[in-house]
Chains A and B, each alone.
Chain A
Amino acid sequence: DGGITQSPKYLFRKEGQNVTLSCEQNLNHDAMYWYRQDPGQGLRLIYYSQIVNDFQKGDIAEGYSVSREKKESFPLTVTSAQKNPTAFYLCASSIVVLAGVEQFFGPGTRLTVL
């Protein structure tokens, strides 16, 4: 089955520790994204990558880092510089269709920093 996997579903970390969230897709999509979701707010873009070895900052990139060494993988590191890291993190990938860019989402990782 083609899709996007994120692991783990729930993640707990102590304050001050860096943590890396995994995102893998087997859809052969060129572009991948990381979003953050907080209660009562819309999804906000952290980073996105349109192609391997290239990525751009989104609206809330501070305190986060990414890499895109392989087409199918786009891991997100939440660093200790992120002031409020507890949130739900969603990974997505996309293809270009006639009407525009269609995005597909993973199941998400809920990160809690204690």
Chain B
Amino acid sequence: KNEVEQSPQNLTAQEGEFITINCSYSVGISALHWLQQHPGGGIVSLFMLSSGKKKHGRLIATINIQEKHSSLHITASHPRDSAVYICAVPNSGGSNYKLTFGKGTLLTVNP
């Protein structure tokens, strides 16, 4: 089974700061997922990436397949970015249907 480690567990920032959340995994993968969970509990898929970098608005996700590491960056952070950010990768064994999830990073952005 793939092991996923996220850091930091908790992150507090001031509005406008640049945020970085890290994710490491143990087994080679086809693609990595970044998810956002708001206080109400619903989860939204932010990115699914298999190489390089993706950008959506103020969010940027990068992945280094050789180092088995991904980062999620938020530029010009805003209080509405406050959420839990979760990294997920396919389990080892070839099935992309089963994912292993990190424990999440709780981000709080203060005004």
Chain A interface residues (CB < 8 Å from chain B): 31, 33, 40-45, 48, 50, 58, 88, 90, 94, 96-97, 99-108, 110
Contact = CB atoms under 8 A, between A and B. Distances in A.
Contact of A101 (B35, B40, B96): B96
Contacts of A99: 30-31, 48-50
A108 B41 contact: yes
A43 B101 contact: yes
Contacts of B50: 99-100
Interchain residue pairs A-B with the least CB separation, the first 8 = A42-B101, A105-B43, A99-B31, A100-B31, A107-B42, A108-B41, A101-B96, A43-B101
Interface string B54-73: 00000000000000000000
Task: Kindly state the interface size class of chain B when it binds its partner.
Answer: 20 to 34
B40 A103 contact: no
Contacts of B31: 99-100
A94 B43 contact: no
B53 interface: no
B103 A110 contact: no
A103 B99 contact: yes
A94 B45 CA distance: 11
10 contacts: A33-B97, A44-B101, A50-B97, A90-B43, A94-B97, A96-B96, A103-B33, A103-B45, A108-B41, A108-B42
A88 B42 CA distance: 10
B98 interface: yes
A110 B42 CA distance: 11
A42 B98 contact: no
Contact of B40 (A40, A96, A107): A107
Contacts of A94: 97
Given A43-B101, A106-B42, 8 more contacts: A41-B103, A43-B88, A43-B99, A104-B45, A105-B35, A105-B42, A105-B43, A107-B42
A100 B103 contact: no
A87 B39 CA distance: 15
Given A31-B97, A41-B103, A50-B97, A105 B90 contact: no
A9 B98 CA distance: 25
